[in-house]
Structure 1
Amino acid sequence: MRGTPAGILLIRRIRGKDWSLTTYRYVVLLITFIAYACYHASRKPSSIVKSVLDPDPKKVNMVHPWPIGEFFVENELVGTEGNGLRDEGWAPFNGTDGTSKLGEIDVAFLACYSLGMYVAGHLGDTLDLRLFLTTGMIGSGIFVGLFGMGYFWNIHVFWFYLVMQMLAGLFQATGWPSVVAVIGNWFGKRKRGLIMGVWNAHTSVGNISGSLLAASVLDYGWGLSFILPGALIVLGGIIVYLFLAAYPEDVGFPCPHGFAGNSETVCNDEEAQIRKGDSVEVEKSAVPRFGSGNRKSVGLLEACLIPGVIPFALCLFFSKLVAYTFLYWLPFYLSQTAIGGEHISVKSAGNLSTLFDVGGIVGGILAGYISDKLKARATTAASFMYAAIPSMILYRSYGNISKTINIVLMMIAGLFVNGPYALITTAVSADLGTHSSLRGDARALATVTAIIDGTGSVGAALGPLLTGFLSTKGWDAVFCDAYDLCPYCWSSFIPFGDN
């Protein structure tokens, strides 16, 4: 069995007794929440600095008031701060093909992320998840920070930024399969949709914090917008290493899915241990110590044959394509679109775009709750995607009327776009990774999560790439592309349903 994390050993020594199962679950939820929020925070800088690297000269030196408050739009002279680089841009992204180059940077990151996901999933079911996650977080932080150092080292070579993004993408691939596998190890299926819907708010919290952090230091040089989120994820990796118990067995508790396949007995034992609280320490020696390294992992092909894996993977392909188009390009869109007859600054656009993720938090929780009540994950996900179509049409058509209308419609679009994305990548992946066809004798959580999210990430790579090219023809072309792709999610479920 892998060792107990050093931080937990220290806490045991200080307290003189161990935590209860319930406390461990809360700690695992909190640490994995922080971990993946750090992952997403480190992905946001590239969307925030797009308009600095490739500015629109028509908007230089424009000052605009904002009736809702100074937080979202400040009165600032774009081009007079940051050593005058705001209006000049940054080679090689400030040329006539700058927007396309920014799209290529995004797709390089996401392509490596999606390819790395398939490998990371299998490794996550084979290696110690705590060490695997720690390595991924520290590696991600290093390469995100190195991208930002290009500003301070005055690097203007395209391949440097391309390589940094590709390497960052590979390390970022370690995150999602690992955190979902850890949560799946600690929680059974009861209310999993709601629990994971709330827990999945880490995606939006990470996007919001990453946007605000990157935008807050933009005036001191765009490089800091990468370095600070990079340092944040490294710190998160240290916390994971010290305090995350990846498997209940590693701290003396039985796995909620059992090892011999008797899930009902395990659930009863589990509830009994929750009631015992701190006294559970006395009886932990009787727990079979299968540990995190004794169960066999499932191969990629075998995981693909689990009922539902392929349909949900295809649905996530289209869902993530739309979601990541907003993730990477919404701040750029806001900075280049007149809202209420006025343009807003780059920094303000980054702050304003966080409200899309606020809607996403509500959408993830709502989708999880509805799917639990109806016991219909597929129908819930498909319904949200269909509702996303009119919400995006309304946002594009009427979002420029006023700032208040823009905010309301943006949050509604975020709710419907991120709802199915959150549901599929959390509760659905965990359900399928502990599917009855595995008979409780193998680990497939990280592998199944990687297949589903890896396929989705291929769509995530295509979305920003297509946007980079389509935006040169006008934003209507970008939104039409998003409308057209949403219905394909439903067709993915036709042969599957909610079984």
Structure 2
Amino acid sequence: MIGIFKPAKEVARLPESKIASAYKIYRIRVFLMIFIGYAGYYLVRKNFAVASSLLSKNYDFSNTDIGLISAGMAITYGLSKFILGNLADRSNVKYFIGIGLLASAILSIFMGFAKTVPVFLVLMILNGFVQAMGAPPCSIVIGKWFSQNERGLKMGVWNTSHNIGGGLIAPLGVFAASFALFGQANSSSIFFIPAFICILITIFVLWIGVDTPASVGLPPIEEYRNDYGDSSKLEETVDENKLTGKEIIFKYVLNNKYVWYLCLANVFVYLIRQGIVNWIPIYLQQEKGFSLVAAGHAMAIFEFIAIPGSILLGWISDVVFKGRRAPLSIMCMVGVIIATVAYWQTNNYIVTMISVGCIGCFIYGPQLLIGMSLIDVVPNFAVGTAVGFSGLCGYLIGETLADIVLGVISDNFGWNGAFIFIIIGAVFALVLLTLTLNIKKDKKEA
């Protein structure tokens, strides 16, 4: 890497007496960096969904247009995660996260001036590229600053940052739309105000963040906590050095039937998740006559209910199901189907809010548990490839179905056709998750 992204240089190690206190402070700082920073990414990713109903009203964007623009970003994002994830491994994570967020905020400002579908599509494609600078370095931070026996909880808590950002953008967008400076019901403010907030978050990230422990005079986390993992993991690391990338992909990932079951299930999980949340503002206003404020509340409920839900479901899979992810995933998917039917059929405000909350709670269960299952079915040296392949399937296929296909269906067959399509996808996910019931907890048996 060159320029500002070049990894921070190692400095002389601190005296032994200062290492413990310094580690404590820096770990708080880097966690705040990735938690608040990644929440910011969602403020300038999901604001388009909040603005979509006003774009339809003010500029005559069709549902197909909205879906095309959303899919343009999703496809770019899925592809860019592979490219930029590799670059993040060789970069200064503080600047990688900060510059990516700043670039996304600037693009959001440009969107505030856009009025046509082609311009929005280009800007959202560019936004998808820089948005991919968020998640990979955050995972790297957790790996370098937190040891193996504490990463699960830290990853689970960090993972809720996108729910917080995705949930806050709904009420923030409603406030922005009524902001007198830009005019009421003006979609521009929904892009401007989150962008200004993210510029402030960028400053915070660059101020509080650091790169690696060695760059501030600290030992590697494995040395500091004496947590080098078990012998099987060390053997797998040695094996990884003897394998080519092609061998890992084809022998240990694409040749594993459970990886295919889980990745295909993830396609339909993304169809449901994005197919519901991305269309909440338009669907509730067009079909049920909700106000922009009420639709914003529903979008916030979808995201916020997932925060305790994801943590609880992860804990249940460990404690109650003893590490077996499939049974709980299947139960969650049944709940998703029931809640989706209720959300589709009711016109009652309270039932709508309860059902959208249930969908948000249940759909993040399979998404979280699919990732955990992938870790169980491949060797450690292939986990990144398997998870990356799953994410690629989710964004390239699942979100395309949720954005473009659902937009076309709703325009041509109405929302009844769109919900039938979503429920069919949920049934496919249920069948695929059922095929994973025989996954063994021990990777070597998979």
TM-score normalised by L of structure 2: 0.79
Question: What amino acid maps onto 2:402 in structure 1?
Answer: G
Q: Which stretch of structure 1 is more off in the superposition, 466-475 or 166-175?
A: 466-475
Q: Is the 8 A contact 2:148 2:227 kept in 1?
A: no
- Give the whole-Å Cα distance in 1 for the aligned partners of 2:204 and 2:376: 29
Shift of 1:194: 4.5
SS in 2 for 1:3: coil
Tell whether 2:52 aligns with 1:47: no
**Contact 1:43/1:210 (<8 A) preserved:** no
Contact kept, 8 Å, 2:166 with 2:300, in 1: the verdict is yes
Residue 384 of structure 1 pairs with residue 308 of structure 2: no
What displacement does 1:44 show? 1.9
Give a deviation string over 1:366-391, Cα, whole Å, max 9, x none: 22212232222344334322331112
Aligned to 1:32: 34
Q: Which residue of the partner structure matches residue 471 of structure 1?
A: 410
Match of 2:201 in 1: 236
Question: What residue in structure 2 maps to residue 128 of structure 1?
Answer: 92
> What percentage of residue pairs aligned between the two structures are identical?
25
Q: 2:175 aligns with which of 201, 216, 220?
A: 216
Separation (CA, whole Å) in 2 of partners of 1:5 and 1:336: 57
What's 1:255 paired with? 221
- In structure 2, relative to structure 1, the CA distance for the partners of 1:317 and 1:171 (3 Å cut) is same
Give the Å deviation of 1:218.
Answer: 0.8
Amino acid at match of 1:133: I
Aligned to 2:3: none
Q: CA deviation at 1:199?
A: 2.7
Equivalent in 416, 425, 449 of residue 362 of structure 2 = 416
1:497 aligned to which of 439, 442, 445:
439
Shift in Å, 1:184: 3.2
Mind listing any 5+ residue stretches in structure 1 that lack a counterpart? 7-11, 56-88, 151-155, 266-294, 439-443
Letter in 1 for 2:77: Y
Q: Which amino acid counterpart does residue 387 of structure 1 have in structure 2?
A: G
Aligned to 1:277: none
> CA 1:378–1:183 in structure 2 vs 1: closer, same or farther (change >3 Å)?
farther
SS at match of 2:278: helix
Partner residue, 1:62: none
Alignment of 1:133-282 (within 5 A): 133-150=97-114, 156-190=115-149, 192-219=151-178, 220=183, 221-251=186-216, 252-256=218-222, 262-264=228-230
Consecutive unaligned residues in structure 2, runs of 5 or more = 1-5, 232-240, 442-446
Number of the residue aligned with 2:301: 355
Corresponding residue for 1:284? none
Once the two structures are superposed, the pairs formed by residues 244-393 of structure 1 within 5 Å of their partners are 244-251=209-216, 252-256=218-222, 262-264=228-230, 299=245, 302=248, 305=252, 310-338=260-288, 343-373=289-319, 374-393=322-341
Q: Is the 8 A contact 2:66 2:403 kept in 1?
A: no
Alpha-carbon displacement from aligned partner over 1:116-160 (angstroms, at most 9, x marks no partner): 12212222233333332223222211212211122xxxxx44321
Shift of 1:445: 7.5
What stretches of structure 1 move > 6 A for 4+ residues in a row? 295-298
CA distance in 2 between partners of 1:129 and 1:346 (Å): 38
Corresponding letter in the other structure for 2:122 = V
Checking the alignment, whether the CA contact within 8 Å between 2:111 and 2:188 is kept in structure 1 is yes
What is the deviation of 1:300?
A: 7.2
Secondary structure of residue in 1 paired with 2:174 = helix
- 1:194/1:21 CA distance change after superposition, 3 Å: same
Considering fraction of residues, name the structure with more helix: 2
1:113 maps to 77
Deviation of 1:303 after TM superposition, in Å, equals 5.5
Match of 1:460 among 390, 399, 404: 399
- Tell me the SS of whatever aligns to 2:59: coil
1:296 to partner: Cα distance: 12
Task: Call closer, same or farther: CA 1:428–1:140 in 2, change over 3 Å.
Answer: farther
How many corresponding residue pairs?
406
Q: CA deviation at 1:171?
A: 0.9
CA 1:357 to 1:133, structure 2 compared with 1: closer, same or farther past 3 Å?
A: same
Residue 218 to residue 206, structure 1, CA distance change in 2 (3 Å):
same
The alignment status of 1:451 with 2:399, answered yes or no, reads no
Return closer, same or farther for 1:113/1:301 CA change in 2, 3 Å cut-off.
farther
Equivalent position amino acid for 1:42 in 2:
V
**How far apart in 1 are the matches of 2:135 and 2:209?**
15
CA distance in 2, matches of 1:298, 1:23: 39
Q: TM-score, normalised by structure 1?
A: 0.71
